[in-house]
Structure 1
Amino acid sequence: MPHASRSAALPELTALFADVQQHFLHVIVPLWQGPGWNADMALPYEALDAAHQPLPPQRYRAMACARQLYLFSSLIGAVDNAETRAAALFRSLQRHFHDAEHGGWFYSIDAQGKPLDQRKDLYTHAFILFACAHYWQKSRDSLAESTLNAALEVIGRRFATGDGLYEACLDRDWTTLQTGPLQNPLMHLAEAFLATLQVRKDAQTRQALLELCTAMHKGFIDPQHGVLMEKPLRAVDNWYEPGHQFEWYFLLESSALLRGSTLHCALDQAFAFTERHGVDQPSGAVLAMLDLKTDGRAKNATQRIWAQAEYLRALTLRPASEDVVLRQLQALQQRFLHAGGWHECRDEQGEVSRKDMPSTTPYHLATCYYGLAEYLQR
């Protein structure tokens, strides 16, 4: 990585990163230790409003529980009572969402704790696997490893389609809903496989990850532009999302196993194309959805905090100067962070379009900040 501007930009970047870290630890995390926590259910509320009040609960999702399990597992040793909260979230995941009759985990329960959407969702199962890997790494709770093993088994036995890919959603009893594979659940499955391999040697998971990435390249990469589409190539009404391009890039580039794979090479080569069409200049805002049929123009120009965080994280692994990383951290702070928490979305004019703060967003900020911390230590 070139360091021509390192001496000039590094002190400012380091200072700004310290500020956003403090904001995360002293503003955002406490929202989910206090007002965002339903102590009766031992679950996070789905979202808080701008005044830090829970939105009236309609449902609780297993995926949101798993993301918060990851969050507090990652904070063990850094934040008071993080281990206690992670343990409570792990117990709630099993108590509220596990399907004792058919196996796997429900998508959601209602406000009273009864099963609501009982379908079996790959996105949810991927996050359960991801969270359990991190929780087990920090806690060494044998039940966490057992749940990790159960998640791996059910994903491989129920969701796998036999060609390296996986169904996005199945019915409660595992019968098909004809959804086929979709990019986003598969990306988080790759992330979960990587998390599993970080905590133990696992030849079967390693092979499944390699086969998944090979199949993603074959079935989802647009042959002309090299970008990863949201649906398989033959699907109608397809599009691609810059935030997901950057998220995939980080996962692949940061893995010694996947770096240099055909999928990694495609996204590496397409990175500049994605930046040119998917990042607004000079604001640095990442656009939500792009359409290749219109030469990459925006299909949806909403600006979301998670995509902003993923672009910033990806830049830490690019041969870019510290000035570029600094500008994007400034964009994240100035456009999305505020004294009371964060703005979830801005519209195409840059106006705040969502006032609520979902319980799932701190996961993206945490992974982004870990990427930045590693960048500054290199």
Structure 2
Amino acid sequence: MSRTDETPGSPQWRHAARTGLLAFARRSERPDGGFIWLDDSGQRDRDKGLELWINARMTYVFALAHLAGDDDAQRLSEHGVKALATLFHDDEHDGWYDELSLQGQPVDRDKRCYGHAHVLLAAAAASAAGVEGAAALLDEALRLQSEHFWDQESGRCVEAFSRDWSMLDPYRGANSNMHTVEAYLAAGDVTGDPVWHERALSICERIIGIHARSHGWRIPEHYDHDWTPVPEYNQDSPADPFRPYGATPGHAFEWSRLLVQLAASLEDPKPWLLESAEALFAQAVQDTVEDDTPGLAYTTDWHGVPVVHERFHWVMSEAVMAAEALHAFTGSPLHAGLASRWWAEIDEYFVDAATGAWHHELTPAMTQSSRTWRGKPDAYHAFNALTLPDLPLAPSAALTIGAAR
């Protein structure tokens, strides 16, 4: 995949874009602890509280940035670890609150797999970076995964508990399990314990190998307590940011990338891993790519017809990472061509030249939208897109990013 210095998606272009993104992301530091939700201009959104997923993701980003040699990133990753260990931590029952007020009071006390997966990812990266307190954070995150979220019988993770872990939510979700796969791969690489790769493989075997395969490679996102798909879930709220109705092609791209990374991490990967990665990618492309329209739709129905047409930055990030990963693994020119197209669209439409951050949501006409997302709260997807293509597919970025300097 030959690109010149100025070509969108070239290593030099990605480095410059990552520098701008990190400069914007630094604005999220909250003096009293943690990271805040930023608006489009990089100011605090005063209507938004403190979110566990944002704080964990920003900690992860700054830990990797520190490993890559970025100035001040060590201090910011330490800032994030401290917030996770104190501000968000439930000292009575263990685990982490999902949301706090700007005054630091718990708003959502439930213990959710989605947020805890991101804490595990952040802790693994920060531990690899030698951040103070990260090893203890990683130990607790791993313990809670084994004690509560990992369900050995189903081979997947459950979704949420009450604050004291006494009540289990009957909902089961693919989204939280997908992010858990990413976290387990990082945790396995950092700790050297093979159980985490085994569990990541188990999740993929069931959600992708069984459910996605049987639904024409459109992934059922929502399930009941015994993992029966609920295809009409949230039909009345199709643009939900975390539990939208229908299929989510961006997640198909994300799973595709994770399957390639998992295959690359195994000594003898089963053929179905790559076959599934390519099938998910191909179906998502078929459902979202239009010759004369840039960007990719957020959701589709179960026949591949777009439901929510808005274009999200994270969908573009995952699409281009999946294309890069599949090209690196297979050498396919198809994936290289799509990666080049999507990098060009990211450069033209999503990168905000005024701030360095990426517009989170655009209309199909590629103008700004806030139907689902407002502001620019999240650097994680864009940072990964600007970082992972320069690294080996395995092991995880926390162990390889420093060697790429």
TM-score (norm 1): 0.88
Matching residue of 1:3: none
Q: Per-residue CA shift, 1:68-116, capped at 9, x if unaligned?
A: 1001101115221110111111011111111111111110111111111
Residues of 1 paired with 2:207 and 2:130: CA distance?
33
Matching residue of 1:330: 344
Contact 2:260 2:277 in 1 (8 A): no
Contact 1:118 1:171 in 2 (8 A): yes
1:372 aligns with 2:404: no
| Cα-Cα RMSD | 2.4
Question: What is the DSSP-based 3-state SS (H/G/I as helix, E as strand, rest coil) of the residue aligned with 2:179?
Answer: helix
Matching residue of 1:249: 256
Contact 1:214 1:262 in 2 (8 A): no
Matching residue of 2:366: 350
Unpaired runs of at least 5, structure 1: 1-5
Matching residue of 1:38: 30
1:221-300 aligned at under 5 Å gives the runs 221-232=212-223, 234-237=229-232, 239-255=246-262, 256-257=264-265, 259-260=269-270, 262=272, 264-292=274-302, 295-300=303-308
Unpaired runs of at least 5, structure 2: 234-245, 327-331, 394-403
Shift of 1:218: 5.5
Matching residue of 1:28: 21
Counterpart residue type for residue 29 of structure 1: L
- Against the structure 1 CA distance between its residues 16 and 265, is the aligned structure 2 distance closer, same or farther, given a 3 Å change threshold? closer
Q: Which segment drifts farther, 240-249 or 143-152?
A: 143-152
Residues of 2 paired with 1:64 and 1:243: CA distance?
19
Matching residue of 2:48: 58
Residues of 2 paired with 1:254 and 1:353: CA distance?
33
1:19 aligns with 2:17: no
- Against the structure 1 CA distance between its residues 228 and 252, is the aligned structure 2 distance closer, same or farther, given a 3 Å change threshold? same
Residues of 1 paired with 2:308 and 2:273: CA distance?
25
Contact 1:183 1:231 in 2 (8 A): yes
Residues of 2 paired with 1:11 and 1:33: CA distance?
26
- Against the structure 1 CA distance between its residues 264 and 149, is the aligned structure 2 distance closer, same or farther, given a 3 Å change threshold? farther
Question: What is the DSSP-based 3-state SS (H/G/I as helix, E as strand, rest coil) of the residue aligned with 1:147?
Answer: helix
Question: What is the DSSP-based 3-state SS (H/G/I as helix, E as strand, rest coil) of the residue aligned with 1:358?
Answer: coil
Shift of 1:157: 1.4
Contact 2:359 2:368 in 1 (8 A): yes
Aligned residues with identical type, % of pairs: 22
Shift of 1:278: 1.9
Matching residue of 1:359: 377
Shift of 1:178: 3.0
Residues of 2 paired with 1:270 and 1:66: CA distance?
28
- Against the structure 1 CA distance between its residues 128 and 224, is the aligned structure 2 distance closer, same or farther, given a 3 Å change threshold? closer
- Against the structure 1 CA distance between its residues 167 and 57, is the aligned structure 2 distance closer, same or farther, given a 3 Å change threshold? same
Question: What is the DSSP-based 3-state SS (H/G/I as helix, E as strand, rest coil) of the residue aligned with 2:309?
Answer: strand
Q: Per-residue CA shift, 1:170-196, capped at 9, x if unaligned?
A: 111113353432011000000000001
Shift of 1:335: 1.2
Shift of 1:24: 2.6
Counterpart residue type for residue 165 of structure 2: W
- Against the structure 1 CA distance between its residues 325 and 58, is the aligned structure 2 distance closer, same or farther, given a 3 Å change threshold? closer
Question: What is the DSSP-based 3-state SS (H/G/I as helix, E as strand, rest coil) of the residue aligned with 1:300?
Answer: strand
